[in-house]
Amino acid sequence: MKNKHYVTKNKKLIRFLRSIPEKSDHSILIHIIIIFFSKIKKLKKKMVRVSNFVISLVNVLTFMVAMMALGFGLWFKADEAKSLCQKSLYMPLLIFGASLLVLSLMGLIGSCCRASFFLWIYLFFLFMFIVGMICLSIFTILVTNKSVAKALSGKGGNDAKFGDWGNWLEKHVVNDQNWDDIKSCMATFRYCQMIPRGKPADFYKYNLPAAQSSCCKPPTYCGFEFKNATFWTMPKTGPAVPDSDCKTWNNAQNELCFNCRSCKASFLETIQKNWNKMAILNFCVFVFIIIIYSIGCCALRNNRSKGYGPYA
């Protein structure tokens, strides 16, 4: 109704301007105003097309990503010799791919066919995704920032506290069940085979990441003899230090020091450090989703306006 009233009002204004005699002193200005309003009307029609086109383009891309996720998930599921890592990955990939596929189809139908019902559902799920990203950001700050977690964990009385967020990663990531999946993924994707090879003198010059240094070789204080980057031998007299990590080391390429306490500690430390980098990526995705949501709202409003039929 607002669009109809706006168009009617502009038509009346244009008729009034055209009724003014051409010999009037303001005839040139009047013609400029008429041209200006005509351009606005044409621009508005183009903007209607643009918002729907952008939503369609974005959903074509998300459709392709969904098909790739489904393909990888089905491939992991069909592989008879799949590892524990592949078993733990295929179901999340299938769920993610199927959800993204349904969402992209609703967006395509809503934008291309001017189906407001499907576009409304699409925008609803986009809004829920935005809320979810906000909650996820708050949650990750709690579990990765020790100072914030400590401050919140101490709130409340003796019997009521806000939760032990500082140890959440330790309890839920490196527990027995999840750590087996993580170890399998490190072995499946040959994480330790990425370490540069070379002679002992050259090997110690490399500045390895904390996780690789702790999970792919025995602790330096154990005094093991270097053979290659992932093969070390224990001295005949035993390890230099009676530490449990020295006894845990195994030269099997799917074992190494994956069960060492130092490996688990370094893995958690890496997650906490890398979250700062991931936060930048999450913010960019968040801004992108907000922009798409805004354009989707424009497309929904355009769908409800009269005079714009579906396009191929």
pLDDT of the residue at 123: 94
pLDDT of the residue at 160: 36
Is the distance from CB of 260 to CB of 215 less than 8 angstroms?
yes
pLDDT of the residue at 46: 52
Is the distance from CB of 257 to CB of 249 less than 8 angstroms?
yes
Same domain, yes or no: 92 and 177: no
Same domain, yes or no: 107 and 135: no
Residues sharing a CB contact under 8 Å with residue 194, sequence separation 6 or more, in sequence order: 212
CB count, 10 Å around CB of 131?
A: 10
Same domain, yes or no: 286 and 253: yes
pLDDT of the residue at 120: 93
Same domain, yes or no: 148 and 53: no
pLDDT of the residue at 312: 37
Mean pLDDT by 10 residues, the chain (312 residues): 47 54 52 58 57 88 93 78 71 90 92 88 93 86 68 47 61 82 85 78 76 88 86 86 89 89 88 77 88 88 61 40
pLDDT of the residue at 40: 54
Nearest 5°: the CA angle 182, 186, 190 is: 165
Supply the pTM of this predicted model. Answer: 0.67
Q: Work out how many domains the chain is built from and give that number.
A: 2
Same domain, yes or no: 132 and 106: no
Same domain, yes or no: 100 and 55: yes
* Residue 271 resides in a domain: yes
**Full domain range(s) for residue 101:** 49-113
* Residue 14 resides in a domain: no
* Residue 30 resides in a domain: no
